[in-house]
Amino acid sequence: MRAESVSRISRNAATGPAAGGGLLRHLRLQEGARAMTEATETTGSAAAAPLTPCVLVIFGASGDLAARMLLPALYNLAAERLFPDAFAVIGLATKEIDLAAFRDGLGRAVRERLGDAFSPEAWAALARRLYFVAGDLRAPETYQRLQARLGEVAAAHAIGGSALFYLSTPPSLFGEVVRRLGEAGLTREDGATWRRVVIEKPFGHDLESARALNREIAAVLTEGQTYRIDHYLGKETVQNILIFRFANGIFEPVWNRRYVDHVQITVAEQLGVEHRGRYYEEAGALRDMVPNHLLQLLSLIAMEPPSSFDPEAVRNEKGKVLAGIQPMSPEEVLGRTVRGQYGAGAMPDGAAAAAYRSEPYVGADSAVETFAAAKLLIDNWRWADVPFYLRTGKRLPVRTTQIVIQFKRVPFSPFRQTPVDRLRPNRLILRLQPDEGISLRFSAKVPGAAVRIGTVNMDFCYSDYFGSQPSTGYETLLYDAINGDATLFQRADSVEQGWNVVTPILDVWRALPPRAFPNYAAGTWGPDEADQLLARDDRAWNNEA
């Protein structure tokens, strides 16, 4: 890209929350692994703004999430030079750990996660900002020690009083930790000093528990202090959905019931439950994935254009979509949902896979689903009568997250006197993982004298155009939470609306235990009933990864 082009873009770039918040920030200049041509135009700010000075406190700092995701994400932010000098991290865990051992342990975890991208020098700069507090999360004296350590760390790094508390704890402790923080005065804001709390999923286990947890948190925190995280929304392609829809004039005009036949959202995992048997026995596929990940993707695909990229404007439109999803009667649950559990089988690479009931910490007669699918309808002008098919499962043939927008077929009449006997519908596929990108399927004439139609794909891969950068998906979310941008976080009403969709399904499944589990072999695309769910509507799942 020419230097004068970069200069022009930089002069015109919108920066900071006042100019539209985090979503506009993500339109920043990037150079691809494959050189971009001079005709390629990139708009947006040339660099992200530095983080706001604060202390980040991680509850559950000795856990798996902190080691595999949060600290590598912080390392990546530090590598991008987004940390101010006035920044530090306090880890809090139950067991006492020597500070040097705490830093060394996290350093090994980050090195293992990042591989060749790991720089000992860059880690050393971050490690010097790491501190530790031990204590029982239910004990008031733990929060007194935390308050004292916060003061010491803030003074050492000239930070001031702002702090972000990240709850990487068992869900049963969310409400209690927030209450203890409030009792210790740790959530009190004063002038420019802010205090925020990030809460991991699952946020409740049904509608009533989510409402109760919201009430418990609201007794201590304002909604503006509460950041309910969904790590799926940290993926670049997820954020790109809004840019793709609302920054391109060729797609939004056909993004409605007149042109779209149906939408498919698939989150497929090759892995089984691994070491998460205890959690999965309580949750299951539906609770684990649908109220948060899949419904958040649905809301981004189906929402109306917001008046701006202001966080509340975006979240208002997403909330309207969730509120418009048709509630299902018990009879409709039986006809429009499918559940499954994997049995023994073989994965595509030939590796044998044990049945779910043989996994550690899983009951020998478990009725918990490892696969869930549903047909949802949205009651609004844009999407009336357009089905949204959702599915998620473990031990499927591939690991993929994708959204398929299938358009209606064109009239066949012009091809009546030709050998063409069937027209394939156009499909737009947004791939969220593992190879993030977008592809468009359409028809073209096969060369030759006869009229023959072939299907071709226009394919865009993020790594080809913008390069591949090490990322856990938490970088954006941590950045936004620290800088006070709530666009990618769930609001209280959104959480409850998600559970409002799922709870009727849970109620029917609880009342009618499955009779045929396991009903799909590991390494297949789930139970036959999932295919029949679409076949009854003369449709089929897209099983191309």
Contact between 272 and 395 (Cβ < 8 Å): yes
Q: How many CA atoms lie within 13 A of 529 on its CB side?
A: 19
Torsion angle of C-alpha atoms 537, 540, 541, 545, degrees rounded to 10? -160
Helix H or strand E segment including 55: strand 54-59
Q: Which amino acid is at 287?
A: R
Q: Which residues partner with 337 through β-bridges?
A: 374
SS3 sequence of 275-296? CCHHHHHHHHHHHHHHHHHHHH
Contact between 201 and 209 (Cβ < 8 Å): no
CA 327 → CA 84, 218, 333, 368, distances in Å?
48, 27, 9, 23
SS3 sequence of 314-369? HHHHHHHHHHHECCCCHHHHHHHEEEECEECEECCCCCEECCHHHCCCCCCCCCCC
Alpha-carbon gap, residue 392 to 39, rounded angstroms: 40
C-alpha dihedral sign at 77, 80, 82, 86: positive
H helices, E strands: number in the chain: 18, 18
- Measure the CA angle with vertex 384, ends 249 and 237; round to 5°: 45
Q: Which residues partner with 133 through β-bridges?
A: 92
Peptide bond into 202 cis (omega under 30): yes
The full length of the chain comes to 545
Beta sheet of 54-59, edge-to-edge order: 130-134, 87-93, 54-59, 163-167, 195-199, 226-228
Alpha-carbon gap, residue 392 to 413, rounded angstroms: 38
Annotated catalytic, 293? yes
The single residue listed with the structure tokens 């501190």 is: 131
Helix H or strand E segment including 88: strand 87-93
C-alpha dihedral sign at 129, 193, 27, 493: positive
C-alpha dihedral sign at 55, 57, 63, 65: negative
Helix H or strand E segment including 217: helix 207-218
State the catalytic residues: 293
